[in-house]
């Protein structure tokens, strides 16, 4: 079932969903099930599965020569989605990126998941890999998420890359995209960020999932700006509980997200990471409860493969 249908069928009741990471290469599907099992009591209608680009590693060969090697550290997004739908009978939503894919790779990826009965995708540009300063698309790939959305929407219309195909089947994907309450790190301004988000909606996206935020006012302001610009699709808030002191520096640096002073000082004064984890849980519970009172259709949690703190939040909220 499509995300938009899940929201419509809920008839005003807020839904619980979460996102997982594929396991590192060398681990098996059991590690995924172990992170999902504790959360199934909250009846998630769908579970997002991230996709991770290949990284480059360099090996010294001597005499100043380097060997460039492609390393895929977290494979398995499509297989994990198939396993989730088979085991739990809930919709699995793969993330699909511009980076690391040619347009033909993208089309083949979409054909594969369509064959699996997957009806939802989240279309993302993807971040630059560690060896890049700025995002670099594949030679025959997409530069922007809006272009990727167009390709998916074209497939929904039966338009494939090969113009000579006859009687081509239409897919029926519900397309989600990312939104940034504090603007994308590369956007020159919040207004320009909304402009490009609106373009993704015009190209066929049907719902938005936000980057994490820790101040609900930023989410509400973002939604108000979107509505003022004529964006009417559901805007699902993405939430993540702080779990370690290290995240005070890592989250603002990696995601360009601000943390409220009250949360920062509570974490700074915590005696250890167990105390930090509890602070993060309580803060996220307060965020969640305020969002539920506002009638938000879905609360989406970035679990990062850790179910314990998400379960503690959900028990108080759902």
Q: What are the b/e assignments for 148-186, b being 16+ CB within 10 Å?
A: bbbbbbbbbeeebeeeeeeeeeebebbbbbbbbbbbbee
Residue 278 near residue 271 (C-beta atoms within 8 A): no
- Give mean pLDDT, residues 202-222: 97
- Is pLDDT larger for residue 278 or for residue 183? 278
Cβ neighbors of 53 (< 8 A, separation 6 or more) are: 97, 99, 100, 126, 129
Q: For residue 73, is pLDDT > 60?
A: no
Helices 216-228, 273-293: axis angle to 10 degrees equals 40
Q: For residue 28, is pLDDT > 90?
A: no
Distance of alpha carbon 164 from alpha carbon 175, whole angstroms? 26
The pLDDT value given to residue 72: 57
Domain count, the chain: 1
Parallel/antiparallel/unpaired status of strands 120-124 and 46-49: unpaired
Cβ neighbors of 296 (< 8 A, separation 6 or more) are: 14, 236, 237
Q: For residue 301, is pLDDT > 90?
A: yes
The pLDDT value given to residue 126: 78
Residue 48 sits at the vertex; the CA angle it makes with 46 and 50, to the nearest 5 degrees, is: 170
The pLDDT value given to residue 20: 93
The pLDDT value given to residue 279: 97
- Is pLDDT larger for residue 155 or for residue 69? 155
The residues with which 300 forms a beta bridge, in sequence order, are 17, 238
Q: In this structure, what DSSP letter does residue 203 have?
A: T
The pLDDT value given to residue 58: 47
11-15, 82-86, 135-139, range with the lowest pLDDT: 135-139
The pLDDT value given to residue 183: 86
CATH of the domain at 220: 3.20.20.220
Query: Mapping DSSP to helix (H, G, I), strand (E, B) and coil, where does residue 231 land?
Result: coil
90-104, 117-131, 247-261, 289-303, range with the lowest pLDDT: 117-131
Residue 300 near residue 288 (C-beta atoms within 8 A): no
The pLDDT value given to residue 68: 47
Cβ neighbors of 72 (< 8 A, separation 6 or more) are: 25, 52, 54, 55
Distance of alpha carbon 158 from alpha carbon 33, whole angstroms? 35
Q: For residue 51, is pLDDT > 90?
A: no
Tokens of 18: 């979460």
Domain encompassing residue 132:
3-317
Distance of alpha carbon 85 from alpha carbon 117, whole angstroms? 9
CA 144 to chain centre: 16
Cβ neighbors of 40 (< 8 A, separation 6 or more) are: 88
Q: For residue 54, is pLDDT > 80?
A: no
Q: In this structure, what DSSP letter does residue 246 have?
A: T
Q: How confident is the model at residue 239 (pLDDT cuts 50, 70, 90)?
A: very high
- Residue 46 — φ and ψ, nearest 5°? -155, 155
Q: For residue 69, is pLDDT > 60?
A: no
Residue from 244, 239, 247 nearest 289 by CA: 239
- How many other C-beta atoms can be found within 10 angstroms of the C-beta atom of residue 134? 7
- Give mean pLDDT, residues 291-302: 96
Could you read off the pLDDT of 76-130 as tens digits, one per residue?
889 999 999 999 999 999 999 998 889 999 999 999 999 999 999 999 987 656 6
Tokens of 33: 């099930």
Share of the chain above pLDDT 70, in %: 89
Q: How confident is the model at residue 64 (pLDDT cuts 50, 70, 90)?
A: low
Average pLDDT, the chain: 90
Tokens of 88: 């739990």
Could you read off the pLDDT of 149-162 as tens digits, one per residue?
999 999 999 999 99
- How many other C-beta atoms can be found within 10 angstroms of the C-beta atom of residue 122? 25
Could you read off the pLDDT of 183-200 as tens digits, one per residue?
888 888 889 999 999 999
């Amino acid at each position: 079932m499509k995300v938009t249908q899940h929201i419509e069928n809920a008839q005003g009741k807020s839904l619980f969903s979460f996102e997982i990471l594929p396991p590192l290469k060398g681990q098996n599907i059991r590690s995924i099930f172990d992170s999902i099992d504790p959360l199934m009591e909250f009846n998630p209608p769908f579970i997002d599965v991230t996709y991770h680009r290949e990284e480059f590693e360099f090996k010294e060969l001597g005499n100043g020569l380097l060997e460039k090697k492609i390393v895929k550290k977290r494979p398995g997004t499509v297989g994990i989605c198939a396993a989730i739908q088979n085991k739990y009978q809930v919709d699995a939503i793969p993330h699909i990126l511009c980076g690391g894919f040619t347009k033909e790779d993208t089309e083949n990826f979409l054909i594969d998941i369509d064959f699996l009965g997957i009806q939802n995708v989240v279309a993302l540009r993807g971040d630059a890999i560690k060896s890049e300063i700025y995002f670099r698309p594949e030679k025959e790939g997409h530069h922007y998420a809006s272009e990727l959305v167009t390709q998916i929407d074209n497939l929904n219309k039966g338009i494939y890359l090969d113009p000579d195909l006859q009687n081509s089947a239409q897919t029926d994907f519900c397309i989600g995209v990312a939104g940034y309450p504090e603007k994308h790190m590369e956007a020159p301004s919040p207004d320009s960020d909304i402009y490009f988000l609106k373009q993704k909606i015009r190209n066929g996206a049907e719902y938005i999932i936000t980057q994490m935020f820790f101040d609900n006012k930023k989410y509400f302001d973002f939604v108000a700006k979107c509505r003022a610009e004529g964006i009417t699709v559901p805007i699902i808030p993405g939430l993540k509980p702080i779990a370690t002191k290290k995240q005070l520096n890592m989250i603002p640096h990696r995601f360009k997200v601000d943390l409220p002073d009250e949360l920062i000082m509570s974490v700074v004064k915590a005696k250890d990471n167990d105390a930090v984890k509890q602070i993060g849980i309580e803060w996220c519970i307060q965020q969640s409860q305020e969002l539920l009172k506002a009638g938000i259709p879905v609360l989406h949690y970035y679990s990062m493969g850790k179910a314990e703190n998400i379960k503690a939040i959900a028990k108080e909220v759902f």
